[in-house]
A and B are shown apart, each in its own frame.
Chain A
């Protein structure tokens, strides 16, 4: 024990000091032991009260069962005994003892449910009734089987069965009753936070989820929609409207709307306005969750103002805690705290669950006494907190209400931060934690704001930014090493082609716009040369391209039409010989993108969420409506039809075998522009919401940042095996589930937004074409950049 001895000499502390700080813990311990004592007393009292009636009832039930099956061998004698008479055996008088009765098991289940299953009480009561009934019936079955053994085989068999088989039977029945109770009180899969393997299934936003409830593995498991239950049906059809409304209000007040966590800042602010329209109580839990999880100052400021504005009195501890939180925010923001409201009702609601100790008022007076020195008050505060925030929450909540001195505020914050291990056993502690969090966040926000407003010398740039600038220096003016270049752009009639042409011209390159349409929009872009070439499926396409490359001395060619890759591949050797570089992705990968049915199979094989798709009529039953019908190899939203009629879909599919049908997904549509290096590594992903589209082209978009979407895009790219530039279209549903609809192996029509957000994907792609051995540097972009697209006219005289 030398190790221990040496440790003791080094680290020994005063025992008295240790004990004096554990009063809060002792109080918790006492309250739990008291609860156990109450449970035991209730258990024994109810057992004593009910055991005789229960035994009589069970005795009658057994006799009734035998009479029901036409046997009069078993009859009731002396109320709690059975007389078993059978031919060939001595008559037996069997006594139903208390341990035979099911009451012990029933009460054990009830005690367990009362002690441990504290949430969703109504569900627990119903679940208990079901499992208790099952346990009662199984126990009755055991006694009936024992009596039957006596009838058929005599007293020896009955005793043997009852003592040994019956004991095992009883154990299994109790265990089954317990498991049934657990099963019925646990949430179904669609409402659970994690599945039975411990995977996160609630799809809560990362920052809003309670810590550690579910490992966030990528399962892509579709959770079934919430099904209608018997209880809900019962409520809907039997209870009067007024009671149902009251229940709905209570449910809404206690429900956290986790969808708020998926909204952007602007949307969250307006959601708060909406939630507080009818007072703080209506959506109290959601508002409290915002106060608990939110970090964005503008959202918190909106909530604080909403709490300040509210005139209705606090009715629950949650709304009271919101007031305390708002006070913390305002104190941290250095507002005039004297003008703040602090209703006595708030104090009452928050201290209702605090321990009723004598001397708390005196303690509060002592803490708030301005005649005492600040150091003495701080020391007292430290000692009070050491004994437990919950133990002294009555004084501490009151103290926070009157807190003005900066030193004491600091001490209070330190104490609360230090005591985060302490169980949040009262609403007062929850409110104190909210107050401290609000204070610190508000302070941080205020300091950042004042720092950003103050004039200052340009400081060192963040590392990432510096790195970016260094890389930019290698490509002065964004033109690239050795530029400007002469670059050909195919598909210049499409929005993607036009955007690429513009981006290259803006970067200072010379551009040759190529398209099969002589009126292609890209031809009209100021500064671009242009040439008409045949369509990619024309036999003359290859030769025409070579002619153009030769005559314009193109150094690079960017293809913005995925279908052209195959045609370009046939002249790849000639392009290289002419000194024109291009990027041709794997043709099979491109085909996987173009063929929508094949794409759906790839997604299914790689377990990536994708709308159910079928290219065959008979597969339609696996594709739930409403539907989207589109050409199997179409592009640019051409030939896409939405339908709600199964008959119409059948007719379309029957008339055109080259169509595929897909389920129409609900949610927010996005497109992600991605760049993939030659090893298949996704180097850049810029997602943006497609807030409005016209003719399949995004006319109103907004960039956003989402690790979930980025991860999904990386998985899609890996599944397809694509390289180069691409765009991925998908959908994010209300629960935050990301589904991928299609991938285009080319730049997107909404490219200008990606470029405007700071990610020069065109420049990086051109550089990768010109220097194939060089690694593509990751690009940076700003989330929250919005694009509105308007028509542009080119007026010219017709020839």
Chain B
């Protein structure tokens, strides 16, 4: 319907003003939009260049009186390559053992993820595993909502399976909840496999500026950082009040950010709460990942644009920033429109000064380039990384195609569900010799014999088997036990 309206408006404009003047009008519109986004990027780059260095260098104030209980939630689907590394990192977190527990959802994995998780649950009683049936609805949001039902703590931290949190990450994330107006906290994700391919190197620089500059700038200048899908924390009561993660979206993080902010809550970003994640290393996976982000973000824009503009919790400048944040994944679509106008001018269509000026909008890309430059400078990355910036030209061209594709798919209402990004795990592979044993060998056989399966429960989304470390009747994995019950149920 939206597309039909746009097409009608365009047709009317061409009919009334002629094609040249309509093209000129569009060109002016694009240049104004690009100019405001240029200002936005430049201001983020300046704020980061001014202050991030001092933030990273500043003394940490660990307030001893505030150490809340935390549930760490992870949704896993076919993560056998990375799950051991994640669990090792989680169990090594520097946080009082009695105040943290881990709820891990095996979302219908077809590989050994479930069995591995069950083995880990035997090693540490703080680990609870939920097995969701294959093709359970809701994707990552559905899995996290299943875990949310078991949460008994005040705060929730979320990681993805390919992440490797730094040891102090929980302390850094939760310290912001000392302020009871804060509902979500976002940490900083860093690419750990930038050397695996040229694309991974480009993604590394992208993340560097995305977190050290863009996210930082949003907080420094507007207090409106975004809650990401991993390495982040959320207040349990707020999340429950909001109805949990939205299963209707494929970017549950953006969706939650918007709902929290529109409801008057606050999101904080802490660049010192660090975890390391894996970048996609091939163009196909990059396409799939960015397509999902674009599709989800554009849906959020359609859903929340009007409520955001009407929201009284935000001042005018904050609303402007919020609007620009919502439109981020529409800018490449508009860039694509600019390219179409420029090419049309080659063929003599719309050949008037306004359109002739469009190539100058390339200069407006100095904004994103300024962000990337600031990221590299703050990160004190070696000088050869400068040539990675060349990779942004093809990646930007690709993003024009991806987001435009996602835009039309979304507007046409084509069905789309949550798609998991496959892992490469080459950096995440276990080291040749580890001081910490893998879970199966970490306990003696006699220890395993003392443990029994605690129980099973059927959830509305399908069969869910819950295994909790501690008691178990034999050493057979709960995954196979789950399957046997599944067969019986059928």
Contacts and interface: CB of A to CB of B under 8 A. Distances in A.
A193 B64 contact: no
B264 A194 contact: no
Nearest to A325: B59
Interface stretch (B132-140, B171-179, B448-456): B171-179
Contacts, number: 293
Interface residues of A, number: 92
Contact of A212 (B166, B260, B381): B166
A217 B435 contact: no
A36 interface: yes
A719 to B, nearest CB: 7
B195 A32 contact: no
B445 to A, nearest CB: 11
B192 interface: yes
A211 B54 contact: no
Contacts of A715: 431-433
A515 B243 CA distance: 78
B484 interface: no
Given A119-B377, A182-B389, A192 B188 contact: no
Nearest to A434: B59
B264 A12 contact: yes
A145 B134 CA distance: 64
Interface in A366-420: 413-414, 416-418, 420
B61 A7 contact: no
B377 to A, nearest CB: 6
Given A13-B313, A28-B47, A36-B43, A108 B435 contact: no
B192 A417 contact: no
Interface stretch (B26-34, B110-118, B268-276): B268-276
A6 interface: yes
A22 B313 CA distance: 12
B301 to A, nearest CB: 14
| Chain A facing B: main interface SS | helix
A34 to B, nearest CB: 10
Contacts of A719: 432
Interface string B226-251: 00000000000010011100100000
Interface stretch (A110-118, A501-509, A526-534, A689-697): A110-118
Interface in A163-187: 167, 171, 175, 178-179, 182-187
Nearest to A714: B433
A12 B222 CA distance: 19
Interface string A185-198: 11111001111111
A519 B219 CA distance: 77
B63 A197 contact: no
B8 to A, nearest CB: 26
B242 A179 contact: no
Contacts of B49: 115-118
Given A29-B221, A112-B366, A116-B49, A682 B433 contact: yes
Contacts of A192: 380-383
Contact of A29 (B192, B241, B312, B317): B317
A74 to B, nearest CB: 26
Contacts of B389: 178-179, 182
Contact of B238 (A11, A117, A179, A417): A11
Given A11-B265, A715-B433, A719-B432, A116 B374 contact: yes
B201 A196 contact: yes
B386 interface: yes
Contact of B53 (A11, A36, A119, A417): A119
B382 A195 contact: yes
B396 interface: no
A421 interface: yes
Nearest to B273: A211
A187 B386 CA distance: 11
A413 B82 CA distance: 40
A194 B188 contact: no
Given A25-B223, A115-B370, A423-B51, A185 B204 contact: no
B386 A186 contact: yes
A440 interface: yes
B181 A13 contact: yes
B39 interface: yes
Contacts of B195: 195, 197-199
A116 B55 contact: no
A666 interface: no
Contacts of B52: 423
Interface residues of B, number: 102
Interface in B284-330: 303-304, 307, 312-313, 315, 317
Nearest to B164: A215
Contacts of B434: 714
Nearest to A291: B59
Contacts of A440: 61-64
Given A29-B317, A112-B373, A117-B49, A196 B59 contact: no
A18 B386 CA distance: 41
B307 A32 contact: no
B194 A116 contact: no
Interface in B371-407: 373-374, 376-377, 379-390
B63 A424 contact: no
Contacts of B183: 11
A117 B373 contact: yes
Contacts of A418: 63, 175-176, 178-179
Contact of A182 (B272, B307, B386, B431): B386
Nearest to B318: A22
B43 A32 contact: yes
Nearest to B377: A117
B379 to A, nearest CB: 6
A702 B439 CA distance: 34
A11 B386 contact: no
B46 A15 contact: no
B181 to A, nearest CB: 7
B380 A187 contact: yes
Nearest to B432: A718
A211 B188 CA distance: 10
The 3 closest A-B pairs by CB, nearest first: A197-B195, A718-B433, A212-B274
Given A115-B45, A421-B269, A715-B432, 14 more contacts: A4-B263, A7-B242, A10-B242, A13-B313, A15-B264, A25-B222, A29-B43, A184-B383, A193-B380, A196-B382, A210-B57, A413-B61, A420-B60, A682-B435
26 contacts: A1-B303, A1-B307, A13-B313, A28-B47, A28-B220, A33-B43, A36-B39, A112-B370, A112-B373, A119-B377, A183-B386, A194-B380, A197-B194, A198-B204, A211-B166, A212-B274, A215-B190, A215-B194, A217-B427, A413-B61, A417-B62, A420-B270, A424-B51, A424-B57, A433-B61, A719-B432
